[in-house]
Structure 1
Amino acid sequence: MHAIILAGGKGTRLRPYTTRLPKPLMPIGDEFSILDIVLNQLAQHGFDRATLAIGYLGDLIRSYVGDGGRWGLDIDYATEEAPLGTIGPVLRILDRLPEHFLVMNGDVLTDLNYRELLERHERMRPPITVATYQREVKVDFGVLATRDGRVIDFTEKPTLNYRVSMGVYAISKSALAPYPPGLPLGFDELMTDMLGQPVPPEEYAFGGYWLDIGRPDDYDRANAEFDRVRPRLLKGA
């Protein structure tokens, strides 16, 4: 089983932390980086190969990870000279990938079973399976609905519920074959295209632990929670 880990972004929302360290190498707890945790989990779930798509401060990631031997993984690299979006780096290495593979952001903390996601995708055979999570967003304002200048509804500080992408996907190579390598391609563009296809994307609904470390508040929360969630994230490590 093969995973592509997207680790090339500049992590601008996490500055100033990421001015000298790429986001996947940010420390969580006293022993691990984010990338450490992800690679441990992939190995625990039976993955044997991973490709790291690197760009910003990529030499630091390459130095830290090496060939992946300490995690029991065979790791290679795809270097972005310019930003290519979420899916663009995958297109450049498509000929090196099996028919079904995992793509994930390098800044996600979750106890999602990556193997189950990929195996479900292989059974169902959609073009892409998106891991999703129920997210509540509390609005700190009174929300108005208006029509023709008149207020027709009002809700005080509502809580909105959304199913959001977790930044983890199982993808079939054949679904990406029509796209030319070397050009930027975002997940949003791919999803828009896929929604118009005869076979639409599938959802893998998840209800466990998930945290996208995109902002300083998220990073602080990850460290505050790590001792509690470590047994779920790193079984036996």
Structure 2
Amino acid sequence: MHAVILAGGKGTRLRPYTTCVPKPLVPIGDTYSILEIVLYQLRSHGFSSVTLAVGHMGHLIRAFVGDGSRYGLKVEYTDEETPLGTIGPVLNVLDDLPEQFLVMNGDVLTNLNYGAFLRGHIQSDRPVTVATYNREIKSEFGVLDLNEAGNQITGFREKPTVHFQVSMGVYAVSREALRGYTPGQVLGFDTLMLDLLAAGQCPGSDLFGGYWLDIGRPEDYDMANEQWQEMSAILLPQLTLDAAD
């Protein structure tokens, strides 16, 4: 099994932590970087090879990860000279990828079983499967429902809670779903989803109920470090057992 990890972003929302270090290499709990955690997880879930899509400070990621042998993986690289979006970097190496593969952001902490997720996608025969997570937003205001003209109140909800599913930044992709795009073009996840829907090729959703944290903001990073002592045994169970031995 093969995974493409998107590690080329500037991580501007996570500054000042990412001023001198690319976001995937930011340490969690003074033990492992985010990227290391992901690489160890992929290996334990049955993956043998990884493509790292690098850009901003990519030389640091190359120097740190190397060929991936210390993680039990074969790691290769593809460079983004300019930002290509979420899916764009994959197009440049599409011919080198297997028929079904994983694409994921390099700043995700989760105990999702990546191997089981990819195998489920293969069995579903979907063009793309998205790992999803339940989220809710609590409004601070009373919400009004209005008629079409907007001059009459037809309903009222006091500080409602809205429930919805969000993308976890982890996707299982069939190579054929990307065949119509040109290598080097900018392609975001949003465009791919809309194109598939317009073509009547509905992507699949795999709802996950475990631990998931998208480390996009300083408060997310602080939370990850606060939770690391408790979550390390869940995120990296084998390494925790080895350390105990």
Shift of 1:38: 0.3
Between 1:140-149 and 1:211-220, the stretch displaced more is 140-149
Alignment of 1:40-79 (within 5 A): 40-79=40-79
The Cα RMSD (Å) is 1.0
Instruction: Name the structure 2 match of 1:38.
Output: 38
Paired with 2:103 and 2:40, the residues of 1 have a C-alpha distance of 16
Structure 1 residue 172 corresponds to structure 2 residue 174: yes
Match of 1:186 among 188, 191, 212: 188
Counterpart AA for 1:42: L
Paired with 2:19 and 2:165, the residues of 1 have a C-alpha distance of 32
Structure 1 residue 197 corresponds to structure 2 residue 230: no
Q: Identify unmatched segments of 5+ residues in structure 2.
A: 240-245
Secondary structure at 1:76 match in 2:
strand
Paired with 1:96 and 1:19, the residues of 2 have a C-alpha distance of 33
Paired with 2:23 and 2:151, the residues of 1 have a C-alpha distance of 46
Instruction: Name the structure 1 match of 2:211.
Output: 209
Between 1:141-150 and 1:87-96, the stretch displaced more is 141-150
Deviations 1:52-79 (A, max 9, x none): 0000111111111000011000001010
Secondary structure at 2:168 match in 1:
strand
- TM normalised by structure 1 equals 0.97
Instruction: Name the structure 2 match of 1:25.
Output: 25
- TM normalised by structure 2 equals 0.94
Deviations 1:161-212 (A, max 9, x none): 1100000000011110110110100000000011123331111111000010
Structure 1 residue 113 corresponds to structure 2 residue 119: no
Instruction: Name the structure 1 match of 2:135.
Output: 135
Secondary structure at 2:172 match in 1:
strand
Paired with 2:156 and 2:217, the residues of 1 have a C-alpha distance of 31
Identity of aligned residues (%): 60
Deviations 1:63-101 (A, max 9, x none): 110000110000010100000000000000001100000
Paired with 1:6 and 1:194, the residues of 2 have a C-alpha distance of 21
Instruction: Name the structure 1 match of 2:242.
Output: none
Paired with 1:139 and 1:18, the residues of 2 have a C-alpha distance of 32
Flag as ranges the 4+ runs of structure 1 deviating above 3 A: none
Deviations 1:27-66 (A, max 9, x none): 1012111001000000000100000000011111111100
Instruction: Name the structure 2 match of 1:153.
Output: 155
Paired with 2:188 and 2:49, the residues of 1 have a C-alpha distance of 24
Shift of 1:142: 2.4
Secondary structure at 1:18 match in 2:
coil
Paired with 1:229 and 1:127, the residues of 2 have a C-alpha distance of 33
Alignment of 1:96-107 (within 5 A): 96-107=96-107
Paired with 2:7 and 2:220, the residues of 1 have a C-alpha distance of 18
Counterpart AA for 2:20: R
Paired with 1:73 and 1:235, the residues of 2 have a C-alpha distance of 18
Counterpart AA for 2:141: F
Secondary structure at 1:17 match in 2:
coil
Q: Identify unmatched segments of 5+ residues in structure 1.
A: none
Instruction: Name the structure 1 match of 2:236.
Output: 234
Counterpart AA for 2:13: R
Shift of 1:126: 0.7
